[in-house]
Amino acid sequence: MSVSVEVAGSVLHIRLDRPERKNALDPAAILTIVSALERAATNDALRVVLLSASGDDFCSGADWVATNREPGQRPRAGGIQRRLPLQAHRLIQQLTEIQLPVVCAVRGWAAGLGFQMALAADFTIAADQACFWEPFLERGFSPDSGATWLLPRLVGMARAKEVLLLGRKLSGREAAEWGLILRAVPDAALDDNARVLVDSLASAPTVAVGLAKQCLQRAATRGLFEAMEAEATALELTSRTADFREGLAAFSERRAPEFEGR
């Protein structure tokens, strides 16, 4: 199996596990991740998702060799358009829409779909020398997996064009400086930094975190009034949770809250 899916307490750990191919994702691997996220979305015991990889690289993108088995064979007309919404695009949609925080740990290559997975996660930490790259134009085809939506909103149109059209590669440190990811750290500190962040989110008020994430995600395509309407609905829901009551009690008692994710 090229993807490992494990549940440890309240954490769903999805690990890409095909290091000999730089963790390139074939259709079966993508389906495994999508299915794991779909199950997690309805599992009230889970509070955070950790996305990582085995070996020296995070993900070199979609495995076109596995998708097109005949050497030199062109995709069947319409085949890509039919498959993408159920494969790579569904994966990015799940990462952005699931009402659990997603932490992504990146070392080595994060190219193509791997790059977009890192962008779609809520918190991405990368090794200083990780390499983020959009190889599409260099391979002779146009971008996919949300690249043309995610990049401009994070770094602006000029830099998005530099990355997508000119093939600019970014180190982990540069990606953090540009605001593409949360932070870059020395390689040896990557796993510990990701674990600290996961532990923090696993003790957060999960319902409130999920609804705040949803509001942020949808605000990108809404006006101010619509965004505030969504905030009002989310606040109504979070005010009915046990974590809301615990937060108020902790504030009045001048102690740290102990959230249970309910």
pLDDT digits (tens, 9 = 90+) for 1-52: 799 999 999 999 999 999 999 999 999 999 999 999 999 999 999 999 999 9
pLDDT digits (tens, 9 = 90+) for 40-58: 999 999 999 999 999 999 9
End-to-end CA distance of the chain: 34
**Distance from C-alpha of 28 to C-alpha of 10, rounded to nearest angstrom:** 26
Q: Domains plus CATH for the chain?
A: 3-202 (3.90.226.10), 206-252 (1.10.12)
pLDDT digits (tens, 9 = 90+) for 151-205: 999 999 999 999 999 999 999 999 999 999 999 999 999 999 999 999 999 999 9
Amino acid residing at 202: A
**Distance from C-alpha of 80 to C-alpha of 67, rounded to nearest angstrom:** 10
Give strand ranges (E) for the chain: 3-8, 11-16, 48-53, 102-106, 109-111, 123-127, 131-133, 170-171, 183-185
* Token pair listed for 39: 């199950």
Q: Are strands 170-171 and 131-133 parallel, antiparallel or unpaired?
A: antiparallel
Average pLDDT over residues 226-237: 92
**Distance from C-alpha of 255 to C-alpha of 252, rounded to nearest angstrom:** 8
* Token pair listed for 132: 């983020």
Residues found in the chain: 262
DSSP state string for 161-181: HHHHTS---EEHHHHHHHTSS
pLDDT digits (tens, 9 = 90+) for 58-101: 999 987 655 555 555 665 555 555 565 557 899 999 999 999 99
pLDDT reading at 129 higher than 90: yes
